[in-house]
Amino acid sequence: GCEQALIDAGYDPANKVYAKKLTLADVGGDELALWSNMCFLPQFDQDFDGIGDVCDLCPFAFDPNNEPYINENQRLFPDAGKYCNGAYDVDQLQKAIELAQPLCYEAEGDTDTGGTDTGGTDTGGTDTGG
């Protein structure tokens, strides 16, 4: 998939070099082909992990190694990322947060301020009997 396409485009995994300068020789002397491959802006990388969203297995989760997802049965999912599936799936994370919330707020609920209850709602006003 993407890894081979990156290597074909000049990516050097050993040195982490992602681009090379295109020349007319690279496109067979065709100036239009050279211009069609011009890139003025970096590709989108919404999680800032250095891997463009087009090839990122988890475009919204920081995963600079772009590791594929392997489930609990050791089945490899080459097109799914480790850090957005399985234990890191949004639904799983939401469940973990919900389970952890009582632990986080338990100490707040147990604190005693030491005050006394006056037991009334009297505002101290005078009844005019009007």
Contact 78, 1 (CB under 8 A): yes
Tell me if 23 is assigned to some domain: no
Residue 92 counted as domain residue: yes
CA distance 52 to 92: 25
| Domain limits for position 80 | 61-110
> How many structural domains is the chain composed of?
1
Asked if the structure places residue 130 within a domain, the reply is no
pLDDT of residue 18: 63
Q: How far apart are CA 100 and CA 102, in angstroms?
A: 6
Between these two residues, 52 and 117, which has the higher pLDDT value? 52
Within a domain: 102: yes
DSSP helix/strand/coil, 32: helix
By three-state DSSP, how is residue 3 classified? helix
Q: pTM of the predicted model, to two decimals? A: 0.48
Instruction: Give tens-digit pLDDT for 60-113.
Output: 999 999 999 999 999 999 999 999 999 999 888 888 888 888 877 765 555 555
pLDDT tens profile 28-68: 999 998 888 777 667 889 999 988 898 899 999 999 999 99
Does residue 52 form part of some domain? no
pLDDT of residue 126: 61
Determine, yes or no, domain membership for 16: no
pLDDT at 92: 86
